Amino acid sequence: METQRMKLINIKSDSLPLDLIIEILKRLTVKTLIRFLSVSKLWASTIRSRDFMKLFLNVSLTRQKGLLFLLRHGYCGLVPSPKTHETSSFTAFRVSCYSPPWSTVSPSVHGLICYAQATRLVIYNPCTRRSITLPEIDTWRRPIRYYLGYDPLENGYKVLCAMLGGTHDSVKEFRVLTVGTENSWKMITENNITPHAPFGHALCISGVLFYQAFTGTKMNDLVIMCFDVRSEKLYHIKGPSVFLRRLCSKVISYEGKLAVVFYENNFRLCVLEDAAKEEWSTKTFVLSKIVPAIKWYISKSWVTETDTGEAITVPQFLHASVFNDLVYFDMKTSSKKTVYIRVNTEGNKGYYVESVSSNLVENLMFL
C-alpha cells in the first residue's frame, strides 16, 4: 500500500512546477520529508539541497518551538510545541551515537546540539536522529569548553573551542571549525582578546555567540563574551549593574535580544537595549506570590527559558504512563500555566533529566 501511494505521488508530481513542489515540501515535517526522499530523484535532490534546507529552517523558525530533553543513559526526548495542547506527548529514544559518559552539552542551536565523545565532538540532529563526528582535537589533556554557533547569512554552523589551562582556568587558546566544510581546526590568532575564564552555557542570537566569563587581574569581574560566528572575532561587553550573583544567573534570549535572568526569591530580568552603549533595562518579577515554595520548586526541577519571556520548570524525573507537569512562568504578567506531558515508553520505565532546552525547531541538516 505504501509503495503504491509513493508511485501515485510520483506520477502526480511529474506535472507540477518545481517552485510549487518546493512550496508544498517546505510546509511538511522532517519525518514526512525523509519518507518523501524515495518519491523521485527530483524530490530527493530538492530536499537534500542546501538552499531547500535553509528555506525549510527559516519556515521552522516561525513555528511554535518544542522542548528537547537530554536524559540519562544515552536517551533523548522530544516534546513538540507543548503549549499548543492541554496535554502533549513525550517521545524518548536512544541516541545511537552516544558514548558514555556525557560531558557538557551545548544548548540546541536551531535544532542541532553538540557534545563531546572522547577527544572528538559530535553534532547531532535529534529530529533526523543522525549525526556527524568532527575531527579529533589535540587538547594536550587540557579541559575545553565548546560552543555551537550559527551564521544565518551563510546558513552554516561553526564550533568554537576554548582551551583552558591558565590561571583560574582562563582560556589559553581558541580554535574554530566550520561544520561540513573544514577538515581541521584552525587557531584564532588575535592578540587583543580579553583574558577570561568562561562559565555557564552559551547562547547564539543572530549570528553572535554569547557566554559569561570572569575577567580582571583576579578573575573576579564579570563580562559577557561575544563571538561573531561569521567573522570569527571575539570581543566582550559589560554586564548589567546587578551582574553580581554569578552562580544563579543565565544568559537568555528575550524577544530577540540578549538578556540575563537571575534566579533569586524573585526573577530579575536584565535586557540589553543598546549593545553599542552597553545599556540594560531591568525588571523584577515577584513570583513568590504565585508559588509560595519557589525555591524548593526550582531546586527539584530543571529550569529553562523561552525567548518570549517565560521560564519553564521541568521535573528532574519523568515518570512513565502518568502525566508529568511542566510549569510556565510568564515574566511579563507574573502568571503561570501548567502543561502536562505523558511519556511514551514501554513498561513503567521513567527517565532522569540531565538538561532541557526550550528552543527545539525542525532541521533537515545531515540527512
Q: Are residues 6 and 120 in the same domain?
A: no
Q: Which of 327, 295, 286, 324 is CA-nearest to residue 310?
A: 327
Question: Of 104-118, 123-137, 259-273, where does the model show the most confidence?
Answer: 123-137
**% of the chain with per-residue pLDDT over 90:** 22
Owner of C-alpha cell 525542525: 362
Over the stretch 298-308, which tens digit does the pLDDT of each residue have?
Answer: 445 677 878 77
Last residue of a domain, one of 48, 70, 86: 48
Task: Note whether residue 367 is domain-resident.
Answer: no
332 sits in the region (left: phi over 0; alpha: psi -120 to 50; else beta) called alpha
Answer yes or no: do 148 and 216 share one domain.
yes
Cα 130 to its chain centre, rounded Å, is 16
* Nearest-angstrom CA–CA distance, 339 and 328: 8
Is 6 domain-assigned? yes
DSSP 204-241: EETTEEEEEEEETTTT-EEEEEEEETTTTEEEEEE--T
Based on the domain organization, do 161 and 238 belong to the same domain? yes
pTM, to two decimals: 0.84
CATH value at residue 155: 2.120.10.80
The reply to whether 70 and 27 lie within a common domain is: no
Judgement on whether residues 262 and 238 belong to the same structural domain of the protein: yes
pLDDT tens, residue by residue, 140-185: 667 788 999 999 988 899 999 998 886 778 888 899 999 988 888 9
Q: In a 3-state reduction of DSSP, which class is residue 191?
A: coil
Residue 241 and residue 201 in one domain: yes
- For residue 232, pLDDT over 50 is answered with yes
Q: How far apart are CA 294 and CA 300, in angstroms?
A: 10
Q: Do 39 and 159 belong together in one domain?
A: no
Give the domain extent around 68.
Answer: 55-360
- For residue 366, is it within any domain? no
For 197-226, the pLDDT digits (tens) are 998 888 999 999 999 998 888 887 888 999
Asked if residue 123 and residue 12 are part of one domain, the reply reads no
pLDDT surpassing 50 at residue 1:
no
Domain check: are 113 and 39 in the same one? no
Question: 100 and 161 share a domain?
Answer: yes
Residue 365 forms part of a structural domain: no
Q: Are 342 and 251 members of one domain?
A: yes
SS3 324: strand
- How many domains, in total, are found in the chain? 2
Q: Does residue 59 sit in the same domain as residue 78?
A: yes
- Residue at 314: amino acid letter: V
Give the angle subtended at the CA of 309 by the CAs of 304 and 311, to the nearest 5°: 30
d(CA 144, CA 162): 5
Q: How confident is the model over 238-247, as a mean pLDDT? A: 67
Give the model confidence (pLDDT) of 284-343 as tens digits.
776 555 454 444 444 456 778 787 778 888 888 888 777 888 888 887 777 778 888 877
- Cα–Cα nearest to 226, from 217, 213, 245: 213
pLDDT over 70 at 85, yes or no:
no
